[in-house]
A and B are shown apart, each in its own frame.
Chain A
Amino acid sequence: MRTVKILERILAVIPIMFGVAIVVFLFMRMTPGDPVDIMMGEAGYVSEGEIENLRREFNLDKPLHIQLYLFLADAIRGDLGNSYARRAPVSELIAERLPATIELALGALFVGLVVSVPIGIISAVKQYSAIDRIGMAGAFLGVSMPSFWLGILLMLLFSVRLQWLPVAGRIDYGVELRTVTGMYVLDSILTGNKAALISSLSHLVLPSISLGAAMAATVARILRSSMLEVLRQDYVTLARAKGLVESLVVLKHALRNALIPTITVVGLQVGVLLGGNMIVETVFGWPGLGRLVVQSIFARHFPLVQGAVMVYAFVFVMANLMVDVLYTYLNPKITL
């Protein structure tokens, strides 16, 4: 039964992604002027014939609903169009940058959870203690702080002043690394390359903290409040009355239920990670998808921006789908 429900849920993603593609298509149409004119402005002198070819390539010579149909048909096949300036398929350019972005997002997720989960639990168990007050004050700061500013502060302190960590990039110049997945930290482990591991990890630290801080703050706050609510419930009192060790009561009985609202927030925070990666990649010169998108916006490479927005939306929708599935395992009472 559960499998059927999960499958239904997966199928529901299809119309949403269709809608996303239509919205993105309309985005493109909102641009003042026609995409070819814009590109021509950038490319300098181009002959009439070439402009005609381009119009045909972008299907601009056809009526709007046909354009939409062709756009959707291509998107289903994973064809997000071609980047005129880079003379390569957009999907290829995105795939090339994706490992760096995934690595950063995983780093941020790691920071976000490793910091927030212990703070959230301890703050709830020891409510109004020093740890609770400091942790929640920090979390409050974290939700009120723009990630680009945090990144700049960290860079100023640890890279410029103390010179403990590198300023920008993913790996030191001259460090050899055989690429397997494109995620440098993982690749260094897979190939047993210690020098590359140290170098890539040291590059990953500050961007991950900048990106993960807001998530850590939000998750710590929600976990604390849901733990507080759960800890007051009768079944927790019963578990204590049975004489269970407090750590078992907290971690096994209470945490499991407190995680249910928390996981929803984590899923929504994936959206913050995805958007934030454009910012943090720009701050730290991280050669990922986010930076490519920002550069493409200024270079007016719209097919790439369009494709990337769709990829981001897809990842976000999938992350929330995973949250829904996880839900059913955490709380058997909930059916999708």
Chain B
Amino acid sequence: MDTEGKTTAYQQILYPFKLRFQLWGRSGLSFLGELSRQPSALLGGVMVLLFVLMAIFAPQVSPGDAMRGHLREQLIPPVWEEGGNPEFLLGTDVQGRDLLSRIIHGARISLWVGILAVGISASIGTALGAVSGYYRGWVDTIISRFADLLMAFPFLIFAIGMMAFLGPGFTNLLLALTLKCWVVFFRLARGAVMAEKTQEYVEAAKVVGQSNPVIIISEILPNIFHSILVLATLNMGSLIITEASLSFLGLGIQPPTPAWGSMVADGRDYLVTSWWIATLPGLAILALVLSINLFGEGLRDILDPRLKVE
């Protein structure tokens, strides 16, 4: 009896996923092939990978100490400027901390916030969107109205307002970002599920006697997964910019933790004498977001050409 139950569960839920993964495994190779035909997307992907490796191995690759500095070594210019010290390739900040090491460590915050905020938003948004789009009715009405309401707030205003009331910090930052960002995934998933529900394969699954949750999870979700993935990648860049903006205002990640946004803010007071403190961390933000966007647009062209506007 027990084994029978397991077999059914396997057949109903896991087997379609196994098939799907086999399909992905095969298309994974062709995906890499397609990616290599898009030089800008490939470049973006490689850059993102480098940023991720840099963040993971930050303590190993940093030439100096990101948290502590010596006041004797404050405001040393980058090595190519007059007065530069080869020990500090990108110079030091006002507390004498090595800027390069801080930028390397700063990648951790940006990537963590980007990945977690996108991951949580996408999961919640997709789950709610799938339920809304599949069952419709009052659940859909309530969630959709709530989503509409959140749309009435500009993203940054919402995030700034939330951080103002919650106070700064990593967890609050994630909360502020995800509480608004899930809406885009909700809308996409809801619309996609509504469209998929009319397809014949869903009818077939119903006729075979599969339950609604099983149909949603193992029949429909795998078919809309690629759109969610593309949207997630394209949203990650703007979430990273939002985090940097909040940290710049002093509402996000607090010092002494190195976050690119707050590093730019630190450098503002020394713009006239020490230009590198404010500008170089910003360059890191630009490089990371640019790479993610390049990769995301390539991903879209390969996985979901319908979203391509051109």
- 1/0 contact string of B134-153 vs chain A (CB within 8 Å): 00000000000100111011
A98 interface contact, C-beta 8 A:
no
> Which single residue of chain A is at the shortest CB-CB distance from B245?
A279
Using a CB-CB cutoff of 8 Å, which residues 208-234 of chain A contact chain B? 222, 225-226, 228-229
B157 contacts A275, C-beta separation under 8 Å: yes
Q: Tell whether, in the assembled complex, residue B285 and residue A297 are in contact, meaning their CB atoms are under 8 Å apart.
A: no
Find the B residue at minimum CB distance from A269: B154
What is the chain A residue whose CB lies nearest that of B275? A156
Which residues of B in the span 146-182 have a Cβ within 8 Å of any Cβ on A?
148-150, 152-157, 159-167
Instruction: Tell me, yes or no, whether A148 is within 8 Å of chain B by CB.
Output: yes
Q: Does B91 count as interface, using CB distance less than 8 angstroms?
A: no
Judged by DSSP, the binding face of A is: helix
Given contacts A32-B167, A144-B290, contact A16 B152 (CB under 8 A): yes
Q: Which residues of A contact B195 (CB under 8 A)?
A: none
Question: Across the interface, which residues of B come within 8 angstroms of A270, CB to CB?
Answer: 154
Q: Decide: B152 and A148 in contact? CB cutoff 8 A.
A: no
Taking CB atoms, residues of chain B closer than 8 Å to A31 are 165-166
Chain A interface residue number, banded: 35 or more
User: What is the number of residues of chain B that contact chain A, defined by CB distance less than 8 Å?
Assistant: 46
Residues on B with C-beta less than 8 A from A141 are 286, 290
- Contact call A275/B161, Cβ cutoff below 8 A: no
**Do B165 and A146 have beta carbons less than 8 Å apart?**
no
Residues of B within 8 A of A144 (CB): 237, 241, 286, 289-290, 293
Residue B279 at the A interface, CB < 8 A?
A: yes
Complex contact A153–B152 (CB within 8 A): no
* A230 CA / B289 CA spacing, docked (Å): 31
B92-100, B116-124, B246-254 - interface stretch: B246-254
Inter-chain contact B290/A305, CB cutoff 8 Å: no
Q: Which of A20, A272, A283 contacts B156 (CB 8 A)?
A: A272
Q: Which residues of A are found within 8 Å of B165, using beta-carbon distances?
A: 27-28, 30-31, 302, 305
Q: Roughly how many angstroms separate A155 CA and B271 CA in the complex, as a whole number?
A: 9
List of A residues within 8 angstroms of B167 by Cβ: 32
Q: Which residue of B lies closest to A297 (CB)?
A: B164
With contacts A30-B165, A140-B293, A278-B160 taken as known, whether A153 is within 8 angstroms of B154 at the C-beta atoms is: no
A148 CB contacts on chain B under 8 angstroms: 244-245, 248, 261, 264-265, 282
Interface residues of A in 12-37 (CB under 8 A from B): 16-17, 19-20, 23-24, 27-28, 30-32
Q: Which residue of A has the minimal Cβ distance to B282?
A: A149
Q: Give the residues in chain B near A140, CB-CB below 8 Å.
A: 290, 293-294
Task: List chain B residues, Cβ under 8 A from A149.
Answer: 264, 278-279, 282, 285-286
Q: Looking at the assembled complex, report how far the CB atom of B234 sits from the nearest CB atom of chain A, in whole angstroms.
A: 10
A316 interface hit (Cβ, 8 Å): yes
| A313 adjacent to B157 (CB under 8 Å) | yes
Q: List 8 A-B contacts (CB under 8 A).
A: A20-B153, A144-B290, A146-B261, A149-B264, A149-B285, A153-B279, A272-B156, A302-B164
**What are the 7 closest A-B residue pairs judged by CB atoms, nearest first?**
A275-B156, A271-B154, A149-B282, A225-B309, A19-B149, A144-B290, A297-B164
Interface residues of B (CB under 8 A from A): 145, 148-150, 152-157, 159-167, 237, 241, 244-245, 248-251, 261, 264-265, 267-268, 271-272, 275, 278-279, 282, 285-286, 289-290, 293-294, 309-310
